[in-house]
């Protein structure tokens, strides 16, 4: 793995993600026509396309041998050890209804493992950056996971895929989690939840079958902030999976949160 490539990608991403975020911020609460996307009520706005085009316009010529997968454009370029994952507007449904909870996300993968994650929250001007082995940062300040002596009095995030909907096991687990913690948070902007966990603002995240271009930047952010990321069997979550089931938290909460999830699944 060439660390020079990661550094070059980091410098480029930090610059262009702010510019893509500015596109979203300038058009916020001014969206007119919406496009339906998929079979589960998802939507696309003009900002998704504009921000995506801006990011692709800079990444493709800078790294012509790399493959790219972007939320709207799909797969671009030949298969490569290096893969960029782009979500130009994570939280599109929030954006469309005037709720200022959304981000732009860029991930660089090497052999199916995240090595760079850059997430920008335009409305608060917060830039989250993590590179493998270098830690995680918010506007240049190091982030660290938080351990709480009373986990059940804390806040946990819930993330589920569009196709999950009212899956019986998901509904049962979601209700179980909701009743046991102070608050179960569903932002519908997953990258922001991962950043909140890395920053120590929430205590854990349970993800139920939600794979996409918005996932791996957040997982790297949490790991580099000192967190653990495991599957529902308690094994370290590595690589890329079509149907991920994930628990993420401070290492001291690993066993307790795993027990809660297993109990909730019955």
Annotated binding site for Mg(2+): 71, 87, 89-90, 214
Residue 256: count other Cβ atoms within 10 Å of its Cβ.
Answer: 13
Containing 120, the helix (H) or strand (E) segment is strand 113-121
Contact 214, 244 (CB under 8 A): no
CA 5 distance to own-chain centroid = 22
Containing 176, the helix (H) or strand (E) segment is helix 168-180
Q: Where are the alpha helices (DSSP H) in 63-119?
A: 92-96
Containing 207, the helix (H) or strand (E) segment is strand 204-208
Kindly give, in sequence order, each residue whose CB lies less than 8 Å from that of residue 136, ignoring residues fewer than 6 positions away: 128, 129, 130, 142, 143, 198, 220, 221, 222, 224, 225
Distance CA 192, CA 187 (A): 8
Using alpha carbons, list the distances in angstroms from residue 76 to 65, 86, 126, 234, 240: 11, 11, 29, 34, 18
Annotated binding site: 71, 87, 89-90, 214
Distance CA 186, CA 78 (A): 36
Distance CA 86, CA 48 (A): 11
């Amino acid at each position: 793995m060439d660390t020079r490539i990661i550094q070059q990608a980091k410098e480029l991403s930090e610059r262009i993600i702010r510019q893509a975020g500015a596109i979203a911020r300038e058009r916020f609460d001014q969206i007119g026509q919406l496009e339906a996307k998929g079979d589960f009520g998802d939507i696309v706005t003009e900002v998704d396309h504009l921000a995506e085009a801006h990011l692709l316009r800079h990444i493709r010529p800078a790294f012509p041998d790399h493959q790219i997968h972007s939320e709207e454009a799909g797969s671009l370029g030949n298969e490569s050890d290096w893969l960029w994952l782009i979500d130009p507007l994570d939280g599109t449904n929030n954006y469309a209804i005037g709720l200022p909870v959304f981000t732009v996300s860029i991930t660089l993968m090497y052999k199916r493992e995240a090595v760079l994650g850059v997430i920008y929250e335009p409305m608060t001007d917060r830039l989250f950056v993590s590179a493998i082995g270098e830690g995680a940062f918010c506007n240049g300040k190091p982030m660290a996971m938080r351990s709480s002596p009373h986990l059940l009095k804390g806040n946990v995030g819930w993330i589920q895929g569009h196709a999950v909907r009212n899956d019986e096991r998901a509904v049962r687990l979601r209700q179980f989690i909701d009743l046991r913690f102070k608050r179960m948070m569903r932002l519908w902007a997953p990258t922001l939840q991962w950043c909140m966990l890395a920053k120590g603002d929430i205590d854990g995240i349970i993800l139920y079958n939600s794979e996409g271009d918005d996932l791996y930047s957040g997982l790297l952010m949490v790991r580099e902030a000192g967190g653990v990321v495991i599957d529902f069997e308690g094994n370290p979550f590595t690589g890329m999976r079509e149907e991920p089931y994930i628990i993420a938290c401070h290492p001291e909460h690993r066993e307790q949160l795993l027990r809660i999830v297993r109990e909730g699944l019955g």
